[in-house]
Structure 1
Amino acid sequence: MNIQSISKYLSLCVIGMTISCASVSSTAQNKKPKNIILMIADGTGLSQISASQYYNTQPSNYDRFKTIGLIKTSSASDLITDSASGATAFSTGLKTYNGAIGVNTDTIAAPTILEDLEKRGFATGVIATSTITHATPASFYAHQKFRKMELEIAEDIINSGVDFFAGGGRKYFENREDGNNLVATLESKGYEMYLDRLNPMLSLKKDKNYGFLLADSGMPKFLDGRGSFLYDATKLGIKKLSQNKKGFFLMVEGSQVDWGGHNNDSEYLISELIDFDTVIGQVLDYAEKDGNTLVIVTADHETGGFTLASKAGDYNTIEPSFSTGGHSATMVPVFAYGPGASEFMGIYENTAIHAKMKKLLKQQ
């Protein structure tokens, strides 16, 4: 499949999804939110976002934001961050070393915003197209000294209190080398666990938590048939968490934009980014109707040194290209809509995302 056919392919996959293309208004920007939905398109910089505009048959939902900022992404150990330290900066407000999951530079556990809100009676959730134990989602509920410790990270979710989670990573929960069946353990703690499919029309019980582990490792690529998983999981997650009258926090990660960047595979990257863009549309539609939800869309870092260059000097032909198979040190954008959105304007460190969210929910 070539890049030019991606838009047509994606359009067929999202038939039935209603996406409003109207610009988001700036009403209610000064009051504090009841809910926060933090959306992270892993590895996404401005060129990736531009690709969603050029290659999408629908208007990009990024265009609906009026409040935009920029974050500096360096970690405590390196000028160029990895996803673990980048996500830990968001979740704890601390700069830490590359590879750290919810711990400071001395490997001491640091409280995350998810844990803080759980203690205060909020509902919480994490969704990812990677394993649910991967660096970004893990950094919101786990505390381990290195990101590759996914067996240990899986154990951390048991007592995290998270009300809803969805992604891959089934092999870290059952058929483990240590013989522990974490799926059974979660069920004993009041979770309804689903290991084969996610039904977006599932009837949800207020007294139950929900876990979806739909692949042994990461979820399939969008181009390989993942379909509307991210859209459906987000819809179901909001449905579950909004049952809580106190409020909720939901982290949604488009994990594989990053993987497309690492592979220097523009078709992979662009299809993942447009899938994520579709979910942004759903979330903005919900927030617009709800009036009490702050939506933050950002990235932990940029991956691939991705560029939309001209092809052989032809300024009417775009040729996506890469400068690295790793991450880059460029600043990444932050888009915000809803109560408190104005807090996210300007240029600031990635740790400020946590500080701003905590400030806005402090008296809720």
Structure 2
Amino acid sequence: MNCRYESINFRAVAVFSLLLLTALCSAQKKQKPLSVIFMIGDGMGISQVTSAFYFGDSEPNFTKFKFVGLSETSSTSNLITDSAAGATALSTGKKTYKRAIGMDKDSIAIPTILEQLQKNNYQTGLVSLTSITHATPASYYAHVKDRDLHEDIALEFLKSNVDFVAGGGIKFFNKRKDGKNLLEKLSENYRIDTVSLSKPVSGKKNLYLLAQDELPNKVQGRGDFLPEATQTALNYFSKTKKPFFLMVEGSFIDWGGHAKDAEMMTKEVLDFDKTIGVVIDYIRKNPNTLLIVTADHETGGASIGKYSEKDAATGKEKEIGNKVQVNFIDNQHTAALVPVFAMGKGQELFSGIYPNNTIYHKLAEALKESGIKIK
């Protein structure tokens, strides 16, 4: 046996292993924190997503996801949730009672993903079609017992430090029962625009309040506010080297279900899908980003069924084979599972079937892999 040869070989393997370990540790240290774009189609169940395949003019952006899951949406007080409890589960990782904003089932305030990432030097943003004090956006920065406390939620916004916000809700800031004009206080830290989605000012927080309450829906002629506001936010965040967390809500998918208005629902889904396309384009250029698309609940018990017309000759209903229509069970939320789509770093974590609050914990795992610990 050549002991000298074996000794040299062992030393060579040991040195190589040490070098490899050093390289891996160095790579981990240099890894950039993950940016996150979290999109919520309010009221968007499987049928709502399906409508994008039949009522649009092109292939939906939903088809570009390879990792898809399903989420169960119940609250702690009701099997059928509302947007407040649903969004709070997504933002905090804890299920709670209906109407709660950023609070657990015992009405104790709990930190949100947005607040936790701010402590990790993240930029943060919110885009909504409703008032920014509405249930879904509020669940990312506020902590109140009931979603209808809009003026209290507006006070919470004063200390939120969100960098970019676009939506409605002016009246909750300057036409308040207490007579306060919160816009004056906010103007100390924000550049505020109540007229248009103008170019944001770099190095300053930007707040767009473009309606007294909610913005118009698509049937009313809203235009491309959602994709444009999302693009504006992404442009704003791209000006710095900081990671960011952006929540985008497609608010009126839910309202279409409540109104049993098939045209509103389908147009809002297509608008949301168009906005997804804006985000996917961003991810292709910025791969250190994770996109999650989901819903807080389903609304209307929507289904995509056969389309019939009255036959002129016989007067009888006749199915039209190349058309479908939207049907609703009722005008309320349902307990239906909702889809979860993921793209980017950590996308594989979101496959499967799980409770809605689990999405937060999966996101925490993805962030941990990039060096960010939020719990």
> Hey, what does 2:336 align to over in structure 1?
330
CA distance in 2: counterparts of 1:89 and 1:179, whole angstroms: 33
Could you tell me whether the CA contact under 8 Å between 2:295 and 2:338 is conserved in 1? Answer: yes
In structure 1, distance between residues paired with 2:56 and 2:33: 31
Question: Contact between 1:242 and 1:248, CA under 8 Å: does it hold in 2?
Answer: no
Determine the C-alpha separation between the residues in 1 that align with 2:76 and 2:111.
18
For residues 62-113 of structure 1, give each alpha carbon's deviation from its aligned partner in whole angstroms, at most 9, with x where no partner exists: 0111110111111111111110000000000001000000001111100000
The residue number in structure 2 matching 1:340 is 346
TM-score, normalised with respect to structure 2:
0.86
Match of 1:205 among 184, 198, 202: 202
Say whether 1:234 aligns with 2:230.
yes
Does 1:308 pair with 2:304?
yes
Question: In the alignment, does 2:268 pair up with 1:262?
Answer: no
1:244 and 1:115 mapped to 2: Cα distance?
19
Q: Which is worse superposed, 220-229 or 295-304?
A: 220-229
Using the alignment, how far apart are the partners of 2:174 and 2:200 within structure 1?
25
Q: How many residues align?
A: 330
Question: Aligned-pair distance for 1:120?
Answer: 1.3
Q: Deviations over 1:159-213 (max 9, x none)?
A: 111101110111001121211111111111x1000111112xx15222x101000
Deviation at 1:33, TM superposition (A): 6.0
Q: Out of 311-320 and 153-162, give the one that drifted further.
A: 311-320
Kept after mapping to 2: 8 A contact 1:32/1:340: no
Letter in 1 for 2:201: L
DSSP-derived class of the 1:234 partner = helix
Does residue 277 in structure 1 map to residue 273 in structure 2?
A: yes
Q: How does 1:278-293 map to 2 (within 5 A)?
A: 278-293=274-289
Aligned to 1:165, what secondary structure does the other structure show?
strand
2:64 aligned with 1:64, yes or no? yes
Partner of 1:4: none
Distance 2:51 2:200 in 1: 37
The letter for the 2-side match of 1:256 is F
How far apart, CA to CA, are the structure 2 residues paired with 1:358 and 1:336? 14
Across the aligned residues of Structure 1 and Structure 2, the Cα RMSD in angstroms comes to 1.4
Please say if residues 33 and 338 of structure 1, whose CA atoms lie closer than 8 Å, have aligned partners that are also in contact: no
Q: Tell me how far 1:343 sits from its aligned partner.
A: 0.5
Segments of 4+ in structure 1 off by > 6 A?
none
Partner residue, 2:357: 351
Whether contact under 8 Å (2:54, 2:324) holds in the other structure is no
Aligned AA (1:191): Y
Q: Which runs of 5+ in 1 are unaligned?
A: 1-30
Is residue 42–residue 83 contact of structure 2 (8 Å, CA) maintained in 1? yes
TM-score by length of 1: 0.88
Aligned to 1:145: 145
**8 Å contact 1:33–1:339 — kept in the other structure?**
no
- State how 1:177-256 maps to structure 2 within 5 Å: 177-188=177-188, 190-199=189-198, 202-206=199-203, 208-256=204-252
Q: Residues 129 and 219 of structure 1 are in contact (CA less than 8 Å); yes or no, is this contact kept in structure 2?
A: yes
Residues 186 and 265 from structure 1, CA distance in 2 versus in 1: closer, same or farther, beyond 3 angstroms? Answer: same
CA drift at 1:227: 0.9
Separation of aligned partners in 1, 2:219 and 2:330? 23
